[in-house]
Amino acid sequence: MNILVVNWTWYPSGGDWTYVENVMSLYKQKGHNVIPFSMKDDRNFPSPYSDYFIDNIDYKKINKRSITAGIKVISKSIYSIEAQRNLERLLTDVKIGFAHINVIHHYITPTILKILKEKNIPIIWTLHEYTPICPESTFISHDKICERCFGGAFYNCITNSCKKGSYLASTVAALENYVHQYLNYYAYVDHYVCPSVFLYEKFKQFNFHKDKLVQLYHGYDYTEIEEAKLKPNLFKEKYIVFVGRLEKIKGAHTVLNAIKNCPDIQLKIIGDGTQEIALQEFKQNYQLNNVTFLGKKTKQETLQIINGAEFLICASEWYEVLGFTVVEAMALGKPVIGSAIGAIPEMVINNQTGLLFEPGNYTQLANLIKTLYVNDEQIIQMGKNAQQHINNLINTRKHFEGLQKLIPAL
């Protein structure tokens, strides 16, 4: 069977791509062909279907010096005629068994759902973020959890300038949600796959096509995990690690505030982002010589560094959908100290596979770091529990069996 896999990028771009890569591998192992549909980009992996991809949308063009270009970008981010036409061409040339949608908002847009429905192609959509019920996508407004748009009241995104603190960006985001709500293209989807219980319950709470929501944890190919276990440690000293985008919602600032109280504990930070300079300045101001910024690393390097650590810290301050960094650390047999928010507690079982703390509470986090760091027996036992729990929870066999229930032809 030819399976259409749709995602806004066709290169590593975060947790969404990690899932796309894993599910593509799974489909291929089962003897199916993956037909990609995405956006053109120099970073994309080569594909014989790249001619069908839509042109790259550059949001940097939205500025006062290029009003015309900005209007074109905004309109394409809400209703993409190009995506519809290109997909129609692809469907004319290739027979598709079913479509697996991933992240498409702001780029490919839900307008493609109408084309798929007209062709009687079954559609499943794995939800990686909250855009259909939150224009800002993360339920974060000015660094705080916000659910004001409940019931489709998307105008709250505008009045509170939720999107990037910008009135214009927030207006575009809210307008996008109103348009898609009015067109009701979401109704064309057969099943919405929810990677965590938390996300499932949140969409259900917001009355988003409750009869089509299916809770199904991701699958994961642990081959690279096993390879990382065989590699030597990159650092000789004992250390802990934080992996993630250096953005407010990921909580790196909370980790640095906590590590101020742990001067004898080495912390390695992997990742980059808009807060990197501010975090580097924080390190210098407080003379945190025990903190090392490693920048962005390849997946293999990241796994190797996590494998050499005592444990990983996940300090997210948003409704984390799942968190592959946590999955990978636990699969490597590492406990995780995680914030009790979103889907994190579904993986980090307090005092069993790791420790939980109140999001943003760096004093509590510091105490947990110091307590766990000196308890080798607890680290070992929690690491064993973590590996067993995550292998059972994030399981390729279970994931495929779940997909088969949605698409029997698989």
pLDDT at 63 over 80: no
Name the residue among 410, 400, 408, 32 with its Cα closest to residue 193.
400
User: 286 Cβ partners below 8 Å, 6+ apart?
Assistant: 256, 260
3-state per-residue secondary structure call for 111-180: CHHHHHHHCCCCEEEECCCCCCCCCCCCCEECCEECCCCHHHCCHHHHHCCCCCCCHHHHHHHHHHHHHH
**Quick check: 290 pLDDT over 60?**
yes
For residue 238, give the nearest of 202, 262, 204 by alpha carbon.
Answer: 262
Residue 73 has what pLDDT?
A: 61
Q: Give the pLDDT confidence score for residue 376 in this predicted structure.
A: 96
- In 3D, which of 296, 324, 321 has the Cα closest to residue 21? 324
Question: How confident is the model at residue 68, as a pLDDT?
Answer: 52
CB atoms within 10 A of CB 339: 25
Nearest Cα neighbor of 389 from 355, 356, 352 is 352
pLDDT at 392: 96
Burial class of 408 by CB neighbour count within 10 A (0 to 12, 13 to 18, 19+): exposed
Band (pLDDT 50/70/90 cuts) for residue 50 is very high
Type of residue at 179: V
- pLDDT computed for residue 61 by the predictor: 54
User: Which pair of tokens denotes residue 378?
Assistant: 């607890």
Which percentage of the chain shows pLDDT scores above 90?
90
| Residue 319 banded pLDDT, cuts 50, 70, 90 | very high
pLDDT higher at 348 or 15: 348
Q: DSSP code of 7?
A: -
Are 252 and 246 in contact, with CB atoms under 8 Å apart?
yes
Spatial contact of 32 and 3, defined as CB atoms under 8 Å apart: yes
The tokens describing 151, both together, are: 């019931």
Residue 409: beta bridge partners? none
Domains of the chain: 2-219+395-406 (3.40.50.2000), 223-393 (3.40.50.2000)
Element (H, E) at 337: strand 336-339
Type of residue at 133 = I
Digit-coded pLDDT (tens) for 229-277:
999 999 989 999 999 999 999 999 999 999 999 999 999 999 999 999 9
User: Between 65 and 154, whose confidence is greater?
Assistant: 154
Instruction: Look up residue 167 and give its two tokens.
Output: 């009135």
How far lies 323's CA from each of 95, 219, 291, in Å? 34, 13, 23
**Residue whose token pair is 């705080």:** 144
pLDDT at 65: 45
Looking at residue 410, its pLDDT comes to 84
* Residue 79 confidence (pLDDT): 84
Model pLDDT, residue 74: 66
Cα–Cα distance measured from residue 169 to residue 185, given in angstroms and rounded to the nearest whole number: 23
| Rounded distance between C-alpha atoms, residue 243 and residue 234, angstroms | 16
Question: Is the model's pLDDT at 75 over the cut of 80?
Answer: no
User: Which one-letter DSSP state was computed for residue 320?
Assistant: -
- Answer with the residue of higher pLDDT: 59 or 279: 279
Q: 267 forms bridges with which residues in the sheet?
A: 240, 291
Q: Tell me how far apart the alpha carbons of residues 15 and 19 are, in angstroms, rounded to a whole number.
A: 6
Cα separation, 32 vs 388, in Å, equals 30
Dmax over Cα atoms in the chain, in whole Å? Answer: 63
Residue 70 is predicted with a pLDDT of 52
Q: Kindly tell me if the per-residue pLDDT of 69 is higher than 80.
A: no
- Smallest CA-to-CA distance from 145 within 215, 11, 249 is with 249
Residue with token string 């809770």: 215
Letter string b/e over residues 84-117, b meaning 16 or more CB atoms within 10 A of that residue's CB: bebbeebbeeeebbbbbbbbbbbbbbbbbbebbb
Provide the pLDDT confidence category of residue 64 given band limits of 50, 70 and 90.
very low
Q: What is the pLDDT of residues 374-399, one digit of tens each?
A: 999 999 999 999 999 999 999 999 99
pTM of the model: 0.93
The answer, yes or no, to whether residue 331 has pLDDT greater than 80, is yes
SS3 content of the chain, % helix, strand, coil (to 5): 45, 15, 40
Phi–psi pair at 124, nearest 5 degrees: -120, 150
